[in-house]
Structure 1
């Protein structure tokens, strides 16, 4: 990333920060060098990974330079991506969610079709469905898989003589012992509303184990959260930990950083979260490489314990790019063992890659080991958003209300069933 100047450009109503070279803004220089724009979210881990990948790519491909822009995450970032795609002002390559969220981007009109392209040569076939739309492939994996479940402090567990729970009853019993020790049993950070969703979204392994056809029925408008006990369970778990007084003080105004600090310092034992947040902790708290572990959200039956997996984000090329060939070179590098190694050098991987021949480093952090064990044993399932295009935009507000005791689980589930209707109709899904 040949970045010497910092400029700020408006995109829709949001601010996008761009790290660019000083001098000419022309995309192709007199010597034939092509400059690609790359848009990523502004999370510290994403930026570190992108910087490492760009450096390695530019060293391997000296005729292509990359200028990297950052955007906010969450709903604000979603709006920036959609706006820039719709106006033809998207960067030449952008990193964005895989799964249900790309369905709302109108991929057949806004993205370059990569179906059958050599760019996909190293991509594991099992990953392709999550970057596909109407049987066309539009992206490659940018990063590693992540687990959605419970991050826990292993030192707290050792000090209190606790064992990793395989059932919800065991989890709640552990919480009682943590509370008796004067620590926060379950960390919640509802100031950043997206963090409130994990008890619901991370519970999908248990939903699929109980109702294997739920995703298909949900997509066809035949299965609902409010009327499927296994699906409603995630909302009930969210409400139960609040009703039992297990949350940290000030959970309604706490941020992700606050939550991670409580976990790292051992002042809180459990944090319902994605393993992908871990790299942000490592520089400040090196011990979390081994002190923080991961387990899937427990269900009722310890014999069917497993974990929900989030597939890697995707790297995509917009149809508006004037440098598709150069952009494909960049995507091919991202989706190669060399690209995966560059990712690992930039940020600690928190799960396995979806790239053939890509291996995790020997000193991989504990949460990645724990997640890989679930995947390798077959005790894992992709999150619902990777097997169904239906995901409502208001879940994070609904789960904040349920997790704060303001809305009952049944009411929250019914609200979410209503929330997804508009998106399903916009996607033109049958049955809606």
Structure 2
């Protein structure tokens, strides 16, 4: 499991009680998942930190992603065998780690001084904050071809009615208005999950009420809206031919080539394309899924994961020093050199590079305007396993949207009970 031992230095000592080698160095262990983007980000952070701190060595361990990786994290925390620092999800998955018992409370600590205030909500439980953001946020909404918009004289829509009017004009021009790639079923969820900014704008307590079994998708008009959007674009004939068997790669190709105008998708799909299709960086923009009120237009964002410190660490001060560095513009700059950001950083004064993808710049505007909400999964642990199958059926015209919303309400009940949530 030991992936790398990266040499590094220390400009100020940690607490005198921390173990140190005979040569005065301190070693930190750092656990990350084994995805290429995570490994590249971790290497950029540790290299930059160690270059500035010559007496600290960071040894990076890897773990699998997905449920297997979740179980490894939970097991190591429960047995007191966790690394000094680890990278894990922010949001509702953090709650499953029982942070009050397993993680170091950073509330009020200078470590968090540079963390944007609204990010702290997704690394907090019971009013206590536990982590610092690693990497950039990403948008969940509509990726659109700016060249198509320019050619047809279209404006980015701020209401659903404007979006559908744009789709009519795009279809009349012989271009696919909305790309769907239901062969990869997870992609069918974006109209629902990416609509949460509008849900929260209309029903501000929905996340809490949903978690407490006091609100439902089927009986909350704003929450049901995502299912209705899915059904409407299909009913209007706005989808690409063969959408049921299309893949993400095919969908992105249609978008970048201008054969499709809109793709409900995460902005993270763009950076990997830039090396082979550089126009993806500039030709593809982003806007949030439009709601009904142009004055309340905004976007749903997926927050980055975070770095946490387990209570069992013997290197607390050094671990805090590393987290404090991660939460700086210098750390963001180090990441940018290794990994193209899919959205803004959640660190004060951390800026996107001039050559950042346009979609990331568009998302930055939403954040600067205070017009964002985290996806529901960052606010509630309730997410049923069958949503992507339900949204495929709704988006294919096989299930009416109200019925799909009701099916999803039933889908989440088993998971909510397994989590032992009150009210279920």
**TM-score, normalised via structure 2 length:** 0.86
Tell me what 2:271 maps to: 279
Partner of 1:302: 294
SS of residue matched to 1:175: helix
- Distance in 1, matches of 2:35 and 2:153, equals 35
In 2: Cα distance, 1:145 partner to 1:236 partner: 27
Match of 1:360?
352
Q: 1:196 aligns to what?
A: 188
Q: Secondary structure at the match of 1:40?
A: strand
- Give per-residue Cα distances to partners, 1:302-330, cap 9 Å, x unaligned: 34322122333211233454544433222
Say which is worse superposed, 315-324 or 209-218, in terms of deviation: 315-324
The DSSP-based 3-state class of the residue aligned with 1:185 is strand
> What is the SS of the residue equivalent to 1:283?
coil
Residue 374 (structure 2) pairs with residue 382 (structure 1):
yes
Contact 1:50–1:346 under 8 Å retained in 2: no
Q: How does 1:243-392 map to 2 (within 5 A)?
A: 243-392=235-384
Does residue 95 of structure 1 match 2:87? yes
Corresponding residue number in structure 2 for 1:117:
109
d(CA) in 2 for partners of 1:248, 1:322: 56
CA distance in 1, matches of 2:315, 2:242: 49
Once the 2 structures are TM-superposed, how far is the Cα of residue 296 of structure 1 from its aligned partner?
0.8
Deviation at 1:87, TM superposition (A): 5.3
| Counterpart residue number, 1:5 | none
Judge conservation of contact 1:45–1:279 (CA < 8 Å) in 2: no
Aligned residues: 412
User: What are the residue-to-residue correspondences of 1:199-214 with 2, within 5 Å?
Assistant: 199-214=191-206
Q: In structure 2, what is the equivalent of residue 20 of structure 1?
A: 4
Which residue matches 2:9? none
CA contact (8 A) 2:143 2:286 kept: yes
> Which residue matches 1:149?
141
Moved more, 220-229 or 364-373: 364-373
Q: Which residue number corresponds to residue 219 of structure 2?
A: 227
Q: Is contact 1:41-1:71 (8 Å) kept? A: yes
What whole-Å deviation, never above 9, does each CA across 1:140-190 have from its counterpart, x for those lacking one? 111223222101111122223322122222222322333344443222233
Please give the per-residue CA displacement for 1:322-341, whole angstroms capped at 9, x wherever unaligned.
Answer: 54443322211111222122
Alpha-carbon deviation of 1:233?
0.7
Residues 299 and 371, structure 2, Cα contact 8 Å, conserved in 1: yes
Aligned partners of 1:399 and 1:78: how far apart in 2? 26
Partner Cα distance (2:24, 2:414) in 1: 47
- Please tell me whether the aligned partners of residues 5 and 60 of structure 2 are also in contact (alpha carbons under 8 angstroms): no
Counterparts of 1:83 and 1:240, CA distance in 2: 45
- Tell me whether 384-393 or 307-316 shows the greater mean CA deviation: 384-393
**C-alpha separation between the residues in 2 aligned to 1:407 and 1:78?**
33
Distance 1:397 1:321, change over 3 A: farther
Contact 2:5/2:57 (<8 A) preserved = no
User: 8 Å contact 2:115–2:327 — kept in the other structure?
Assistant: yes
Moved more, 241-250 or 227-236: 241-250
Q: 2:231 touches 2:396 (CA, 8 Å); kept in 1?
A: yes
- Tell me the TM-score normalised to structure 1 length: 0.84
Q: Report the CA distance shift for 1:320/1:254 in structure 2 as closer, same or farther (over 3 A).
A: farther
- Structure 1 residue 135: Cα displacement: 2.1
User: Using the alignment, how far apart are the partners of 1:115 and 1:98 within structure 2?
Assistant: 16
Worse-superposed segment, 161-170 or 177-186:
177-186
Structure 1 stretches of 5 or more lacking a match? 1-8, 10-17
**Residue 411 of structure 1 pairs with residue 395 of structure 2:** no
Of 99, 112, 128, the match for 1:136: 128
| C-alpha displacement of 1:85 | 4.1
- Assess if the C-alpha contact under 8 Å between 1:53 and 1:346 holds in 2: no
Aligned-residue Cα RMSD (Å) equals 2.9
The structure-2 alpha-carbon separation of the partners of 1:382 and 1:63, relative to structure 1 and needing over 3 Å to count, comes to: same
